[in-house]
Amino acid sequence: VRPSGPLPNTAGFAVVLAPFAELAGRRLRARLTPAVDRSAELDGILREFTATTAAALGGLAARALVLELQVARVEGRLAGATPQARFRDFVAGAGTGAGLVRLFTEYPVLARLAGRSCVNAVAAMAELLDRYAEDRAELVARLLAGRDPGPLVAVDRTAGDAHRRGRRVAVLRFADGSRVVYKPRPLAADRHFGELVDWYSTRAGTPVLRTPALLTRPGHGWSELIEARPCASPAELDRFYRRLGALLALAHVLDLTDLHHENLIACAGHPVLVDLETLFHPPLPEDPAADDPAGRALDASVQRIGLLPQLVLGDEGALDLSGLGGGAERRSPVETAGWEAAGTDAMRLV
Q: What is the pLDDT of residues 92-109, one digit of tens each?
A: 999 999 999 999 999 999
Is residue 292 domain-resident? no
Alpha helix (H) residue ranges in the chain: 13-16, 18-31, 34-39, 42-74, 83-94, 97-106, 108-143, 188-201, 234-253, 293-299
d(CA 158, CA 173): 13
d(CA 102, CA 111): 11
CA distances for 63 relative to 12, 100, 103, 161, 292, angstroms: 13, 15, 12, 21, 41
Note the pLDDT tens digit of each residue in 126-155.
999 999 999 999 999 999 999 999 999 999
Is residue 251 domain-resident? no
114 torsion bin: left (phi>0), alpha (psi -120 to 50), beta (else) = alpha
For residue 65, the model assigns a pLDDT of: 97
Q: Mean pLDDT throughout 189-211?
A: 94
Q: Mean pLDDT throughout 293-315?
A: 84
Note the pLDDT tens digit of each residue in 45-83.
999 999 999 999 999 999 999 999 999 999 999 999 999
For residue 3, the model assigns a pLDDT of: 64
For residue 15, the model assigns a pLDDT of: 93
Is residue 245 domain-resident? no
- Closest listed residue to residue 156, CA positions, set 181, 135, 138, 136: 181
Residues 307 and 244: beta-carbon distance below 8 Å: yes
For residue 5, the model assigns a pLDDT of: 60
Q: How many structural domains comprise the chain?
A: 1
Q: Supply the Cα-derived Rg of the chain in whole angstroms.
A: 24
Residue 1 pLDDT exceeds 60: no
For residue 4, the model assigns a pLDDT of: 60
Q: Where are the beta strands (DSSP E) in 200-307?
A: 214-217, 220-224, 264-267, 270-273
Query: 278-290 as b/e, with b when 16 or more CB fall inside 10 Å?
Result: beeeeeeeeeeee
Q: Mean pLDDT throughout 297-323?
A: 84
What are phi and psi for residue 56, nearest 5 degrees?
-65, -40
Is residue 200 domain-resident? no
Is residue 207 domain-resident? no
Give the bridge partners for 122, in sequence order.
none
Q: Mean pLDDT throughout 196-205?
A: 94
Is residue 237 domain-resident? no
Question: Out of 159-168, 214-223, 271-280, which region has the weakest mean confidence (pLDDT)?
Answer: 159-168
* Rounded-to-5 percentages of helix, strand, coil across the chain: 45, 15, 40
Please tell me the number of Cα atoms within 13 Å of 129 on its side-chain side.
30
Query: 9-20 as b/e, with b when 16 or more CB fall inside 10 Å?
Result: ebbbbbbbbbbb
Is residue 317 domain-resident? no
Structural domain harbouring 37: 13-184+338-349
Is residue 137 domain-resident? yes
